[in-house]
Structure 1
Amino acid sequence: MVDRIEVPQLMRMAAHPLRWALLTELAAGDLRVRELTTAVGEPQNLVSYHLRLLRSAGLITMRRSSFDGRDSYYHLDLTRCGTAFAEAAVALHPGLAPAAATPAPASAAVLFLCTGNSARSPMAEGLLRHRTGGRVEVASAGSHPKPALHRNAVRVMREHYDIDLDGHPTTPLSAVAGRRFDYVITLCDKVREVQRDHGAATLAHWSLPDPAGAAATDQASYPEFRRVAAELDTRIHFLLNQLTPASMRSTDHAEHRN
């Protein structure tokens, strides 16, 4: 009789201790397979096997590093996980259907980093500031900032999110080097793989390609700007759940901020 019961796929995937450990590690940010191997303390062939299972279940995705194409980053699809957990809860009992709730963000300081500070990081900065009504201190910077924001970054934010980035300056990493942040989130594989120490309480990586890429014209790259902006918005939605009093900076952390 028990054999006839269909166990939700997420439960089958998450019930394995190693797969649960991998999901837990990826919940904090995108990681490479060797980093996951070190984190869970298991051999790479075993980790790769379970990563393949999680990918086949649609819970994680893989994207080539835009800095070192021989490497790849694994990303946990939190939206898919949230839906699957909700479906599994309802399958157990309808009364377990989750109630919609929007977390109230607490005071925090977040820094987004990429190379040129002309697209991904200022878009993320604008989205987080917009989603929190300015209640979260947020900044962005680039290791090698370009002279100005990409026109498509300004256009996408204005047309799809009602956020005005026109005239927003690009900022070098050195300009924020003396400040302390609760969260530093790298959006560029190159910055993440080369610039390791940002002095943050929490360091996470979101592996996102440069939306400008190799497109010959702004018109050709615009769809990719829309896609990257949408992914940033989704990730920021889940970041808001982390900005709680329990995860805020310590007194010592606050005292050392300029």
Structure 2
Amino acid sequence: MNPTLIAEMMAALAAEPRIRAIQALVRAGAKGVPAGDLARWCGVAPSTMSFHLTQMREAGLVESRREGRTLYYLANLVSLEALGRGVMTGFCPAAVPALDPLSTTLPGDPAMSADDRDQPLNVLFLCTGNSARSQMAEAILAREGAGRFRAFSAGSRPRDAVHPQALAVLRRAHLPVEALHPKTWDAFAAPDAPSMDFVFTVCDDAAGEPCPVWPGQPMTAHWGVPDPVAFRGTDAATAAVFNDTFRMLYNRISLFVSLPLASLDRLALQRRVEAIGAMPRDPEVSEPVEIATSA
């Protein structure tokens, strides 16, 4: 995991009530815990606990689910495990192979084969226009995958060119952009197309469209993030929206490349990639807002 993301997550945990809250949420599991109960257990005011939960939610460590009028909070186990692995890799690398508390692999279960681990895994990112989010994801994974993954992107109705702001944010991150161009997703369903191991949709529209049949039966998940191209505002505001989109994709991909693929069976891995996609969208970004401009 990238050190910047590790630092952000650790900073979000840097208070005793937050540690106690995370411990309680992990013990509670999928049923979650209301914020009021967490406040009582941790001995803080409800407003203080709401602040702590907001900080941990923004860092991707906590999720929420509403049932009626009650908001339940849950620990994001994928993020917590990735944080643990990221820290252990730096301080005690010999212990990392044994650090897999969420694995459901049992003797005889089919984990990823040795051949799969020796060859780069192909990952396809999809959105409708293939002009911003999927292009950013392709560029991010191409670098963060460090040779273990090969990244591709495509769209159901590709635009004519990559959005200039998407190219700008990638250049600011020192990522190469020369080879990026919109592509139709039909090209990746052809018999001679590379066989995909993972296919992720990064926009809600593409997730709802009938997809081609991908060769090789790849694992799929929806990693939707708000569309920065829909935003209308000043140049500075538009750049900020694209920066936020890049950050959300970067955080998810950092978690993905940190997964212990060799020790996970297919069901466990499917749950992990779906959990990454279910991470709360950045509350500071939400959906891009259309701003009316004078004629």
Please give the range of the TM-score, normalised by the shorter of the 2 chains.
0.5 to 0.7
How many Å separate the matches in 2 of 1:139 and 1:18? Answer: 33
Q: Is the 8 A contact 2:29 2:74 kept in 1?
A: no
Q: 2:227 pairs with 188, 210, 221, which one? A: 210
The answer on 1:60 being equivalent to 2:63 is: yes
How many Å separate the matches in 1 of 2:123 and 2:265? Answer: 11
2:143 maps to 130
1:170 maps to 182
| Partner SS state of residue 171, structure 2 | helix
TM-score by length of 1: 0.60
How far did residue 202 of structure 1 move?
A: 1.3
Per-residue Cα deviation, 1:36-67 (whole angstroms, up to 9, x for no partner): xxxxxxxxxxxxxxxxxxx77730168xxxxx
Q: Is the 8 A contact 2:26 2:75 kept in 1?
A: no
Letter in 2 for 1:164: P
How far did residue 242 of structure 1 move?
A: 3.0
How far did residue 13 of structure 1 move?
A: 1.5
Per-residue Cα deviation, 1:61-89 (whole angstroms, up to 9, x for no partner): 68xxxxxxxxxxx9986786459x86xxx
Pair 1:123–1:198, CA change in 2 (3 A): farther
Unpaired runs of 5+ in structure 1? 1-5, 21-54, 63-73, 87-96, 250-258
1:144 maps to 157
2:204 maps to 189
How far did residue 203 of structure 1 move?
A: 0.8
Q: Is the 8 A contact 2:25 2:74 kept in 1?
A: no
Q: How many residues align?
A: 190
How far did residue 206 of structure 1 move?
A: 1.1
Further displaced range: 148-157 or 125-134: 125-134
Per-residue Cα deviation, 1:107-135 (whole angstroms, up to 9, x for no partner): 20100001110000011101111113444
How many Å separate the matches in 2 of 1:177 and 1:217? Answer: 39
How far did residue 245 of structure 1 move?
A: 3.9
Q: 1:221 pairs with 238, 258, 263, which one? A: 238
Q: What CA RMSD, in Å, does the superposition of the two structures yield over aligned residues? A: 3.9
How many Å separate the matches in 2 of 1:75 and 1:166? Answer: 41
How many Å separate the matches in 2 of 1:128 and 1:225? Answer: 17
What pairs up with 1:1-258 in 2 under 5 angstroms? Answer: 8-19=20-31, 58=57, 59-60=62-63, 81=80, 98-100=88-90, 107-159=120-172, 161-166=173-178, 168-178=180-190, 179=193, 180-195=195-210, 199=214, 200-216=217-233, 218-242=235-259, 244-245=261-262
Letter in 1 for 2:223: W
How many Å separate the matches in 1 of 2:254 and 2:200? Answer: 14
TM-score by length of 2: 0.54
How many Å separate the matches in 1 of 2:182 and 2:233? Answer: 22
How far did residue 136 of structure 1 move?
A: 1.7
2:108 maps to none
Pair 1:147–1:206, CA change in 2 (3 A): same
Q: Is the 8 A contact 1:156 1:229 kept in 2?
A: yes
How many Å separate the matches in 2 of 1:230 and 1:201? Answer: 26
Q: Is the 8 A contact 1:111 1:185 kept in 2?
A: yes
Further displaced range: 141-150 or 124-133: 124-133
Q: Is the 8 A contact 1:107 1:137 kept in 2?
A: yes
